Chains A and B, each alone.
Chain A
């Protein structure tokens, strides 16, 4: 056993675990004012201010420069409608050179891949403009496409945010459409739609001031895309309202330029930049994080950082565990006990006696006592949790089946989840290994599609896991290797006590998990 563990440890060095500081996007995710992230033929693209942008070809974890966008200007956005990627951006304005005269452009291309023969932008047209004197500044444009209608929002802190309707067949302004004022005190807006509500997100606070940028993303909602938008307190966005979606945290200052990614039922993420990533010289970077929904409002989630947890089924509340013998621990005297000593058979009160061979916790009063009575308890003292060293030697050496059971804070129920470097990832996150805490026993899939715990983590693909937070805050746990044309295959509680790998059911608690502090 010891030899195998030494070999396994050596092999695990080949796929290095990342340190447990904040997990930031991999590669060189440097960008300012990012567009919504767009998918095209196996890769993700995001454009930024000034032209150019980032590409990811590993599912959205690692990002490098290479996206190409003509026109320069600021704060672009992308939307795919039919066979076209419409791209919008603004030139002029922004007050940076003192002026607020600005133009919003829309153009389109069949593809975002600059290496494709179809890559070419067409029909660059100005769809909205401000003259520098009126109470608006036409920058930071952003698309929304709902029910066959295409809308664009634009504007900054100078004056109002405006919403204008465009023709989805051409990207040009509809002849009868006029801009409608919908908010003040905002820039970098983004319109989204969910279940009968239009949401206007945008930044409050200051941009472009590095670690001192107070940028934060806020939201109001309305039943019509032209408003009136109000926040959770009923304060109109035209009077400065806005409910916080995401602000600074940890090493990241100044989130702004929200973009939504809908990945399927109940799985949503958002992109943004941070004005300053303090781990990267305070440079402006892209991030992709879970988007949660609470009581009809979007809430910025945090990327899962790993750690040691109980993995609890949302279905039954059962904890994922190795299928090994339950081992009794000291502390089994609920009431009526005498002073001190180890475990002994119960005196006819129905309480179970100690299991043979179970180590005693020992110590006076270690049994715990209830009330006083004729047998007064000894002094009160803590009982240690059951330790791995007390039980591990009895576990089988090979693969161990998994089950769900009542959580008892036992070693076979504690899982350490660790991000893994150099194995790729998915939108916003790396893959994780999931091991029994203090061991290298790792969650893995088998060739026939079962889930087991293998004796030692080797970094093999079947031992890597994708963890996505769902919109209600629970998590989906998905093996890297298994895929199904009908949808993702995920860890599910197919019985109250039985985990298995089956197709993700968005509306069912079977597919949902919580990570709870042990």
Chain B
């Protein structure tokens, strides 16, 4: 996993200089074999990433080391800090000796805001398709075979609550370098930096 990830510490972490969120809880990949990336239509991705693979998938905030059972897989949550602007899921899996192709990754973080902020947007890039939920609502979807481009798909204006906000995402891929990058931007397209991420 190194040098792309280091273990996360407890406590808050500021985004990087460009506002990218780097502190994550990431689940070891769920097996979802696909030999090609041409299947990731809107319909397929919506259905596949809203399927429940493990209990409380859409509500729980896991802790590092927690395990879930998906089919015949026993998968562990890891708390990590990405050392770059992006979370290189391929290297996360490779470093843990897990399968790298034909996968679904789940990622969770807590976004802490010192005040209520309206009119921020979530800007995401991912390889491959992905879906993202803020405080339980689906806010950004990236469909089709795609590579990660910064600020690729941007949400409608959102509200960050004062205090804690739960940000959850799922990335699905066939063969490819699974990856995502994510930040909040304001109404002028500038990164929101007076927030932090944490594990709880």
A235 to B152, CA, bound (A): 10
- Return the chain A residue nearest B20 by Cβ: A239
- Given A185-B147, A204-B147, A206-B145, A240 and B152 contact (CB-CB distance below 8 Å): yes
Does A92 touch B at the CB level, under 8 Å? no
B65 at the interface (CB under 8 A from A): no
With A212-B38, A239-B85, A240-B125: A185-B175 Cβ-Cβ less than 8 Å? no
Considering the chains assembled together, what is the distance between the CA atoms of A77 and B74 in angstroms?
48
The smallest C-beta distance from B41 to any residue of chain A, in angstroms, reads: 12
Q: Is B151 an interface residue (CB 8 A)?
A: yes
The CA of A13 and the CA of B85, in the complex, are separated in Å by 65
CB distance from B17 to the nearest CB of A (A): 13
Report yes or no: B149 in contact with A241, Cβ–Cβ below 8 A.
yes
Cα separation A235 to B151 with both chains bound (whole Å) = 9
Q: At the interface, yes or no: A157 with Cβ under 8 Å from chain B? A: yes
Q: Of all chain B residues, which has the CB nearest A95?
A: B175
Query: A184: CB under 8 A from chain B?
Result: yes
Given known A157-B177, A159-B177, A239-B181, contact A206–B149 (CB-CB < 8 A)? no
Shortest distance from the beta carbon of A97 to any chain B beta carbon, whole Å: 12
Is B150 interfacial (CB-CB < 8 Å)? yes
Say yes or no: B148 contacts A214, CB within 8 Å: no
Q: How far is the CB of B21 from chain A (nearest CB, A)?
A: 14
Is there a chain A Cβ closer than 8 Å to B176's Cβ?
A: yes
Contact indicator B150/A241 (Cβ below 8 Å): yes
- Please count the residue pairs between chain A and chain B whose beta carbons lie under 8 angstroms apart in the complex: 39
Closest 8 interchain pairs by CB? A240-B149, A239-B150, A185-B147, A240-B148, A240-B150, A235-B150, A240-B125, A158-B177
Chain B 146-188, CB within 8 Å of chain A: the 1/0 string?
Answer: 0111111000000000000000000000011100010000000
Given contacts A95-B175, A239-B181, A240-B125, contact A184 B38 (CB under 8 A): no
Cβ of B37 under 8 Å from chain A: yes
Within 8 A of B (CB), among A184-229: 184-185, 204, 206, 209, 212, 214
Q: A204 to nearest B CB, angstroms?
A: 7
Q: Summarize B's interface: helix, strand, loop or mixed.
A: loop
Interface residues of B in 120-155 (CB under 8 A from A): 125, 127, 145, 147-152
What is the interface residue range for chain B against chain A? 10 to 19
- Chain A residue numbers with a CB within 8 Å of B127 are 185
**Complex: A235 Cα to B185 Cα, angstroms:** 14
Residues of the A chain whose Cβ atoms lie less than 8 Å from the Cβ of B181: 239
Bound Cα distance A286, B57 (Å): 50
- Some 14 contacts from A to B, beta carbons below 8 A apart, are A159-B177, A185-B127, A185-B149, A212-B38, A214-B145, A235-B149, A239-B149, A239-B150, A239-B181, A240-B147, A240-B149, A240-B150, A240-B152, A241-B150
CA distance A214 to B144 in the complex (A): 11
Complex Cα gap A299–B41 (Å): 30
Q: Is the CB of A157 within 8 A of B150?
A: no
Inter-chain CA distance A422–B31, complex, in Å, is 58
Chain A residues in 8 Å Cβ range of B177: 157-159
Cα–Cα distance between A236 and B18 once the two chains are bound (Å): 12
* B151: nearest chain-A partner, CB-CB: A235
**Extra A-B contacts (13), CB below 8 Å, given A157-B147, A240-B147:** A135-B91, A157-B177, A158-B177, A185-B148, A185-B149, A206-B37, A235-B151, A239-B150, A239-B181, A240-B125, A240-B148, A240-B149, A241-B150
**Chain B residues in 8 Å Cβ range of A239:** 85-86, 125, 149-150, 181
Q: Which of B74-107 contact A (CB under 8 A)?
A: 85-86, 91
